[in-house]
Amino acid sequence: MYDLDKKEGNTGLLGRYFWRIEDSDGQGWFWGDPHIKTLDGGNYTFNGTVEVGGNLSVSIPEENCFQVSFPSTSSVQFCEKKEMMSFVVTLADILKNATKGLLGTWNDDPYDDFTLPDGMVLSSSSSLKEIHYGFGVLWKINQFQSLFTYADNESVANYSYPVFEPMFVDNITWHNDSFRKKAEAECGDDHECLFDVASTNDLSVGLVTKGISVQLVNESNTLDNFPPKIVNGSNVINAILNETVELNIAAVDEGTITFQVINKPVGASWNQTGNMLSFYWPVASSQKDYD
């Protein structure tokens, strides 16, 4: 979709227009036991038993979900299903190159997602065990950084178990072989589903994880469906009174292209043939009139 915005010319007889394409936002999420998709598309599992920092507020729930929106257009959505929480963080483009922590460094470079608090970067090819101990647990917070309210005689230490040794997705341990086969039949090649089944000995938990993963991936693909690339045609239209503007624009995209002109001047018309937009406008007035 293209927005045709009008800018006043310096004589009143010359209108100046431009095509505007909005940028997409970044999205990362946590789901399952928990599994993490970073803002740059990285994927790992972190079974931390520590608290990590954040700065969020929560609004009224709807259908087991809380939606938090900010003036910057960033948002956070929390959802609960089968006593497990998933949440999706959508950040405005102005926050690119300004993130750090478990959701990674958002700069379109997935190779530096595992940036440590001291600025060093753990290799993106590290094993899940190396990511757990060499990245995830290093982001744990202390009592002064916590945003939670604790009961009397409790603190961050009550929810931190430094000696905990989690199971890792690349080394899953099964209760028995028949249960493993049943899980593989239901989960297929979804490693997060298999992991959650093995961790909880509950097949339904893994299937919830799998369903959430499919949903979030579909939503992310929709978000990442960037506008087509314009391959010819100027992004500025100089319109002169009593003359006709003719503009042909071609675009390329992996999917089907559908053009739409918003704020079309009175008398203007357009048509689409394949990936080509033809725009015609007999300029009969210097007034800002739109259809």
Residue at 17 is within a domain: no
The reported pTM is 0.59
Residue 24: inside a domain: no
Number of independent structural domains in the chain: 4
pLDDT tens digits along 167-205: 888 788 898 999 999 999 999 988 889 988 998 899 998
Q: In the listed set 225, 245, 268, which residue is the last one of a domain according to the structure? A: 225
Mean pLDDT, the chain, whole residue set: 77
Q: Measure CA 102 to chain center.
A: 14
Note whether 129 and 140 are within 8 A (CB): no
Q: What SS3 class is residue 31?
A: strand
Examine the domain organization and report whether 137 and 86 are in the same domain: no
Q: Would you say residue 150 lies in a domain? A: yes
Q: Is residue 106 part of a domain?
A: no
Q: Domain check: are 42 and 90 in the same one? A: yes
Identify the weakest region by mean pLDDT among 9-13, 159-163, 237-241, 248-252.
9-13
Considering the domain boundaries, does residue 25 fall inside one? no
Which conformational region is residue 95 in: left (phi greater than 0), alpha (psi within -120 to 50 degrees), or beta? alpha
Least confident of 2-6, 45-49, 180-184, 248-252: 2-6
156 and 131 fall within a common domain:
yes
User: CA 94 to CA 75: how far, in whole Å?
Assistant: 13
- Examine the domain organization and report whether 214 and 243 are in the same domain: no
Q: Are residues 177 and 216 in the same domain?
A: yes
Range of the domain at 121: 111-162
User: Dmax of the chain from CA atoms?
Assistant: 82
Cis peptide leading into 34, omega within 30 of 0?
A: yes
Interval 91-148: pLDDT, tens: 888 888 888 888 888 888 989 999 999 999 999 899 988 988 899 889 888 888 888 8
- Is residue 158 situated within a structural domain? yes
* 24, two tokens: 């997409």
214 and 249, same domain (yes or no): no
36 and 79 together in one domain: yes
Residue 102 included in any domain: no
Identify whether 288 is part of a domain. no
